[in-house]
Amino acid sequence: MVDSKSSIIVVTGPTGCGKTALAIELAQKVAGEIINADSVQVYKYFNIGSAKPAEAQLKAVPHHLISILEPEEDFNVGIFYSLAVKKIKELSAAGKVPIITGGTGLYIQSLIHGLAEIADISEVAKQKLQEQENEILKALNGQDKINEKFKLELHNFLSTLDKTVADVIKAGDISRVRRAILVKLSNDKSILSYQQSHGHKSKNYNAFIIILIPQRDLVYHLINARVDEMLQFGFLEEVETLKQKYSARISQIKPFSSIGYKQLLQFKDKLFDYSTAVEKIKQETRRYAKRQFTWWRNQPSKLGWQNILESESLIYNYDSLDFKKIAEDISKLYNTYLASLNLGQGITINFLPVKILL
């Protein structure tokens, strides 16, 4: 059972916008500890390409749910939810402020509003999915499960079962594709019907949500620069090491399908040259950031979150960006937020847009 009196801070926004730097500064001002909400940073060894915090950052503030899983292990929204709820309870009991940091919107949404209750997945459904995947692999002459053609064919199979869901879930999001197939095969019911009945109306925590909203051109610039920096610091060498370590079972290693790792693996497999791989990483990361922009622009009105500054934002200029100053401003608003809470009247969710201009 979630402790309904816990208060949490969420720091989110599109990739590359400075969430980690801000969360660390903020944690130091409010006696907080950071809980990771990124789906790749949970895995051991996948460090540079997932933009894990540097060693100095990890030492500056305690971080949780980072490098906790072996690459073969599964991770999904349900697992994140159970681990994060447990950690929030522990931190709150110790008098620490849990700061949820990451850009995986579905994880954050589920944590605040709870998971939709879905009937159990049957063993028969699991077997049918495995048989279908084996058929696809056979037709593709043994290509592995991170191959784009495999993902497309599995998505086509979902479309034959539940076209409405297939129109919503992208072929590249193979975890959600598999989950939707399993739900449909188990219960002959669309996963969307469970989610719609849930409605995300429940509120698990007093949540103070900070959404970083840099100008889109600035985010694209930062993304391009960060990819170059990752490569400079040994991203390709990391991929080569991991490819050698897991060569016999690459298709079983989920983080290999994430942006950056996938393109560098394709380069190593000689599907295209190095410069093409780099440009593809930048392009796919920019596309991902664009989807995140859309998600976070729509969430407040969709879920009924209230703007703590009554439609205003904190606004900063990029050329003088100071995360210490931003954290100071936010911590003052957070203290005001805490003082205004009346826990006897329910749970409050407020969000704070932090705009960063060129």
Q: What are 261-293's pLDDT values in tens digits?
A: 999 999 999 999 999 999 999 999 999 999 999
Question: In this predicted structure, what is the pLDDT of residue 144?
Answer: 59
Closest C-alpha among 244, 280, 283 to residue 264:
280
The domain 7-116+203-232+289-357 belongs to what CATH superfamily? P-loop containing nucleotide triphosphate hydrolases (3.40.50.300)
**For the chain, domain boundaries:** 7-116+203-232+289-357, 123-198
Residue 149: CB atoms within 10 Å: 12
Instruction: Report the distance separating Cα 327 and Cα 74, nearest Å.
Output: 34
Residue 96: its pLDDT value, please? 96
Round to whole Å and give the CA distance between 179 and 164: 15
Q: pLDDT value at position 120?
A: 76
User: Residue 262: its pLDDT value, please?
Assistant: 93
Task: Supply angle C-alpha 89, 95, 96, rounded to 5.
Answer: 75
The DSSP call for residue 316 is E
Distance CA 287, CA 199 (A): 28
Tracing tokens 């086509």 back to the chain, one arrives at 156
The pTM of this model reads 0.85
CB contact at 8 A, 35 and 65: yes
Query: How open is the CA angle 104-106-108, to the nearest 5 degrees?
Result: 75
Which residue ranges in the chain fall short of pLDDT 70? 1-5, 117-119, 142-147, 194-201, 310-311, 342-346
Q: Which pair of structure tokens corresponds to residue 32?
A: 């907080």
Output the pLDDT for position 313: 83
DSSP state at residue 45: S
Tokens of 284: 């796919």
The CATH classification number of 123-198 equals 1.10.20
Spatial separation of the C-alpha atoms in residues 43 and 59, rounded to whole Å:
19
168, two tokens: 């919503």
Measured between alpha carbons, how far is residue 245 from residues 101, 176, 240 in Å? 30, 27, 9
Same-fold call for 7-116+203-232+289-357 versus 123-198: no
For residue 303, which amino acid is it? L
Please answer whether residues 115 and 195 qualify as being in contact, where contact means their C-beta atoms are separated by less than 8 angstroms. no
Would you call 310 helix, strand, or coil by DSSP? coil
